[in-house]
Chains A and B, each alone.
Chain A
Amino acid sequence: MRHIISVLMENEAGALSRVVGLFAQRNYNIESLTVAPTEDETLSRLTLTTIGNDRVIEQITKHLNKLIEVVKLVDLTEGDHIERELMLIKVKAQGNQRAEIVRNVEIFRGQIVDVSASFYTVQLTGSSDKLDAFIEVIESVNILEVVRTGVSGISRGEKVLSL
């Protein structure tokens, strides 16, 4: 099953490579990873998505917790949560295509953020599934470039991951 694990860790050199190294070392996979400092600059928030059975996920969270720089972590998929990913996608847009793409962008509540005579750049935010769905709608021959941020997430309600 897919899990979203959110990690609060010391914003120190080498901390990120320790997390990434752990996954390589223990043969766990990372589907996506995103990291940036929080409002407290001494802390970074790292969110990663991974796939594994309960036993693997338990080991992943235990090993992450063992890393000296990791302060706290939460498996967001264990509870209600909001998940968002941002995608910028550059697509061919000529003739009739242009109107169809605009329609699709509206359906997906995206924005066209750059326009030229033969392409659009679309910005889309949502769950990973939604971004995948948009990519399917646009035929692959028309896709010039895709860039995704990886998943960020936060718990719903009063639950917070902070010091």
Chain B
Amino acid sequence: MELLSGADMVARSLADEGVEYIYGYPGGALLHIYDALFQQEKIEHILVRHEQAATHMADAYARATGKPGVVLVTSGPGATNAVTGIATAYMDSIPMVVISGQVMSHLIGEDAFQECDMVGITRPVVKHNMSVKSPEEIPHILKKAFYIASSGRPGPVVVDIPKDMTTPTERYEYSYPKSIKMRSYNPVTRGHSGQIKKAVELLLKAKRPVILAGGGVIHANASEQLTELARILKYPVVNTLMGLGTYPGTDKQFLGMPGMHGSVEANLAMHHSDLILNLGSRLDDRITNATEKFCPTAKLIHVDIDPSSISKIIAADVPIVGPLDAVLNEMLKLVKASSIELDEEAHESWWQQIDEWRGRHGGRYRTDDSELMKPQQVVEALCRITKGDAYICSDVGQHQMFAAQYYKFNKPRRWLNSGGLGTMGFGLPAAMGVKLNFPDEEVVCITGEGSIQMNIQELSTCAQYNLPVKILCLNNQSLGMVRQWQDLNYESRHSSSYMESLPDFKKLAESYGHVGIEIKRLEDLESGLKEAFAMKDRLVFINVHVDPFEHVYPMQVPKASMRDMWLSKTERT
């Protein structure tokens, strides 16, 4: 058997796992590993400018491909800088393996230089974490990390490696395990047949059904099955923020996104439905509004691979624990074989009702109250120019909601955003992670002047690795979502939501060797965007000056039911 040092084992294990890129930042505790990486050719290391960006790049790779992204950070501050990205991945169930360096074993607990308890610090925000106690364990622990991260409900796994586990002169027998079996961890592989049967019966007898599809459908690669089921039944589909793209956004049966900034038709349809088939949405507070007023007439079928997501917020009438692809396959089989006749009359009047709701708002926004460009117009123009087929990586705030509302996603894994944790600074590194792995695809970071500055240093990484993403900055000169809430709830006292001293983004981009474009007038929007997207091989920072007073609507009225919404600054449902 081959003899390898711990450091070489890390590199070899990653290569044997099929890893192509790792994202990271070196430091004292990792020097042996970085030396091992230098001496091999299978894995390429991407040097970011801040560890948070490394985690988001890896995270985005996972979101776009379904395979775990890999991060390498040093002990102490390297590790703590990665925590935000780990928590981001955890909240959205993203598979990720984070290798953190650690001080030498004999120094642990002595407050050594760059020491921090990474296993302790990350415990609440990982699916699992492990610490290497002996170099021989490295291949096994890494295999286990990949297995845990990517199976069941995916999530990040941290592996903490003390420096003395990687000493180059100490060699051990190396073999990379083909598979891992654990007595304490056996993810479910199918749903309970009896429950599925019960669910299908309810589904077929429903008069006012809604199919709600969340991020779980993406993780299970089950959007084809979802689409087939919805089309056979001709039932309306809503996609959560995390589920956008699982059902074609331009399809007639698609009602949009439910929740706080969901569409009128999605929220009203859910509220008035008699049956919700929830596929892989955890029904978080941004969807349900006040839980005690949630969809009073609806029965709830809840399918999720994680039993703890079921009946956590809303009690399910038919809980089904299982992977969505397997469960949907079984549902499809039963639906096709069933003799139950759909209540077409009821469905017809249900659709009439839904179409009426659609007409009430229909994604309109006012353009007559300001000379300035509306952010919604910018997103719509982007969707037109990229033919709705770009990878859209969003930051967090108003622009994120506008992107979710106005970019029509027809495919899964095209919409990448930090839905759970709401991490500003996610967008640019995410776009970089996608572009690196899909160099021929159009990759856009939709951001604001607030979010982009949280990881703006990565413009430098983009230059180093030639990552020609397009950055679309909806610049409203304020932290728009904060400002919106201050307008609505704090009598427009804009406490710390105004950004003074913004940089000249055009010049800033240029100083990194990129291209900067300013768009100030609506008539320049289309041509400006076209010009930017024509530069295939350049990173273009498109700074679009938009109306700073615009709010995101619809917006649910707090502490009310899903149907209670503001439709504009002056209209309510």
Contact = CB atoms under 8 A, between A and B. Distances in A.
Nearest to A163: B183
A25 B123 CA distance: 10
Given A68-B128, A68-B148, A55 B311 contact: yes
B545 interface: no
A68 B1 CA distance: 31
A21 interface: yes
A65 B307 contact: yes
Contact of B312 (A59, A68, A70, A71): A59
B308 A70 contact: no
A58 B307 CA distance: 10
A36 to B, nearest CB: 18
B184 interface: yes
B185 A68 contact: yes
| Most A-side CB within 10 Å, residue of B120, B129, B307, B311 | B307
A141 to B, nearest CB: 42
Among B119, B127, B129, B184, max chain A CB count under 10 A is at B184
Contact of B123 (A18, A62, A71): A18
A85 interface: no
B137 interface: no
B124 interface: yes
Given A62-B308, A66-B306, A21 B124 contact: yes
A68 B182 CA distance: 9
A115 to B, nearest CB: 42
A63 interface: yes
B124 A70 contact: no
B311 A69 contact: no
B311 A71 contact: no
A154 interface: no
Interface in B26-79: none
A5 interface: no
A62 B127 contact: no
B377 interface: no
Given A14-B131, A21-B124, A68 B184 contact: yes
Interface in A34-67: 55, 58-59, 62-63, 65-66
A58 B120 contact: no
Interface in B94-147: 119-120, 123-124, 127-129, 131
Contacts of A70: 184
A101 interface: no
Interface string B139-162: 000000000100000000000000
Contacts of A17: 120, 123
Nearest to B148: A68
Nearest to A25: B124
A25 B120 CA distance: 13
A98 to B, nearest CB: 48
A68 B157 CA distance: 11
Contacts, number: 36
A19 to B, nearest CB: 11
Interface string B397-431: 00000000000000000000000000000000000
Interface string B354-396: 0000000000000000000000000000000000000000000
B119 A14 contact: yes
B308 A59 contact: yes
Contact of B183 (A13, A59, A65, A71): A71
B308 A71 contact: no
Contacts of B124: 21, 25
A139 B168 CA distance: 66
A65 to B, nearest CB: 7
Contacts of A18: 123
Q: How large is the interface on B (under 10, 10 to 19, 20 to 34, 35 or more residues)?
A: 10 to 19
A71 B306 contact: no
A152 B312 CA distance: 28
Contacts of A59: 308, 312
Interface in B162-186: 182-185
Contacts of A76: none
Contacts of A68: 127-128, 148, 182, 184-185
A59 B315 CA distance: 12
B565 to A, nearest CB: 28
A151 interface: no
A58 B311 CA distance: 9
Contact of B184 (A14, A62, A63, A71): A71
Given A25-B124, A68-B127, A62 B307 contact: yes
Nearest to A71: B184
Contacts of B119: 14
B187 to A, nearest CB: 10
Contacts of B131: 13-14
B311 A63 contact: no
A55 B311 CA distance: 8
Interface in B455-491: none
A63 B124 CA distance: 12
A4 interface: no
B308 A66 contact: yes
Contact of A63 (B120, B185, B308): B308
A67 B119 CA distance: 15
A152 B128 CA distance: 27
Contacts of A163: 183
Interface in A65-84: 65-66, 68-71
Given A14-B131, A17-B120, A21-B124, A9 B184 contact: yes
Nearest to B306: A66
A71 B129 CA distance: 17
A9 B182 CA distance: 12
B421 to A, nearest CB: 15
Interface string B276-295: 00000000000000000000
Given A66-B307, A66-B308, A70-B184, 18 more contacts: A10-B184, A13-B131, A14-B119, A14-B131, A18-B123, A55-B311, A55-B315, A59-B308, A59-B312, A62-B308, A65-B307, A65-B308, A66-B306, A68-B127, A68-B128, A68-B182, A69-B184, A71-B184
28 contacts: A9-B184, A10-B184, A14-B119, A14-B129, A14-B131, A17-B123, A18-B123, A21-B123, A21-B124, A25-B124, A55-B311, A58-B311, A59-B308, A59-B312, A62-B307, A62-B308, A65-B308, A66-B306, A66-B307, A66-B308, A68-B127, A68-B128, A68-B148, A68-B184, A69-B184, A70-B184, A71-B184, A163-B183
Q: Which 6 A-B pairs have the closest CB atoms?
A: A62-B308, A71-B184, A68-B128, A25-B124, A62-B307, A68-B185
Interface of B: 119-120, 123-124, 127-129, 131, 148, 182-185, 306-308, 311-312, 315
